[in-house]
Chain A
Amino acid sequence: MTPALETHGLGRRYGSKWALRDCTLEIPRGSVTALVGPNGAGKTTLLRLAVGLARPSAGTVRVLGLEPRADAAELLPRIGFVAQEHPLFGSFTVAEMLRTGSKLNPTWDDEAARRRIAELDLPLDQKVKSLSGGQRAQVALTLALAKRPELLLLDEPVASLDPLARLEFLQSVLEVVSDGELTVVLSSHIVADLERVCDHLVILSVGRTQLAGSIEEILASHRLLTGPRDEAADVARTHEVLRESHVERQTTLLVRGGAHVYDSRWTVHELGLEEIVLAYLGQGSGRRRETVAS
């Protein structure tokens, strides 16, 4: 089966600035993938390239095996997209938004959409612009899900929501994932919660892919090593060092992969996802080797 999303050397340039550069990744079907990175890392650009809103300046992007721009007619009904800030027609009522969805989508499941709106207690006759942020997000999600998409792309879906609305939104998404064969890609600059919600992770920073893979593998392949400073160089030879810090006699290394033979003077710690992500983001901004002088 073709991957849900596949890019090769994908790049998008605005003027002379690359918003996304040399991005190669593969997101398997059925996964829930987090696209992580600071603001301006290229997350939105990647998603917009995937739905065909933007055109690549370099490389290729294939979604469900199709090319977003060239095969738009075939692809668009099969993907759901919720843009940042959840834009909708502000002057429409919720009922009119549903009608809009039914008019614009050949695969529209009106019954499911109405059921969701009723379950969420959203007033059908209220104007979209007078809804709360969380309600608007839920309407946008309902519209995307009623297309019965194979792939759901969410751009910073919870960034603007309060904690309760955030939880409810993620709950809604995961509920649908557990119902069937839905692939979800969601971008976020907040790392908390992602470990629970997602099973795959893509780290973007300064327009480039820093890391992509399943969260389980990522957690298993990264370790924090603490040991004597004079042996740091030996460890660095057999491990990919992402971050190191030194004090007078001790060195702390954040490493990826490598052999398991450690000197007994080195202690090995497992890392949380957040620490690993931060290590990569620090690397992206050019602080690959930070040395703390004592």
Chain B
Amino acid sequence: MSLIEFHLDSRSGVPTYLQLVQQVRHAVQLGILKPGDQLPTVKEVVTALTINPNTVLKAYGALEAEGLVEGRRGQGTFVASGAPAPVVDDPGAIRAALRRWLERARAAGFGDDAIAALVAEELRDESRRVA
């Protein structure tokens, strides 16, 4: 059983491999994945998402290049021991901050669509900067 499960958003415009990279980063940052944990095998990801194996290899390659994970020959890919510790110990704090931000947005007259668009755009810009 895999420790994490990937999801794809086909309408986000973010390349598939980058979505995988972000989801692993995210999982490490939130402490869902800890050093030594194994990532889903390429075959597991391919079967679950019906995506090209080379895409998974590319995503894992990118994560390896930034030192977040390490490939062990014949075993799979694992979260590296040197991976940064979770930045936030308490996801609840983030959520509270988001709720405050939402209240401000509502007060400024933003509707659901405008808020969603704002977040999506910001995420896309961020992913482009990181990539």
Contact = CB atoms under 8 A, between A and B. Distances in A.
Interface in A181-202: 193, 195-199
B16 A171 contact: no
A216 B17 CA distance: 10
B53 A196 contact: no
A219 interface: yes
A196 B46 contact: no
Interface stretch (B7-15, B24-32, B85-93, B104-112): B7-15
B47 interface: yes
A171 B52 contact: no
Contact of A272 (B13, B47, B54, B56): B13
Contact of B52 (A167, A179, A199, A270): A199
A199 B54 contact: yes
A170 interface: yes
A234 interface: no
B50 A32 contact: no
Nearest to B17: A216
Nearest to B56: A178
A31 interface: yes
A83 interface: no
A219 B46 contact: no
B80 interface: no
Contact of B47 (A171, A196, A219): A171
Interface string A167-183: 10011001101110000
B16 to A, nearest CB: 6
A177 B42 CA distance: 10
B54 A196 contact: no
Given A177-B46, A177-B52, 9 more contacts: A170-B50, A174-B46, A174-B47, A174-B50, A174-B51, A178-B43, A193-B50, A196-B50, A197-B51
Interface of A: 30-32, 167, 170-171, 174-175, 177-179, 193, 195-199, 216, 219, 270, 272
Interface of B: 8, 10, 13, 15-16, 42-43, 46-47, 49-56
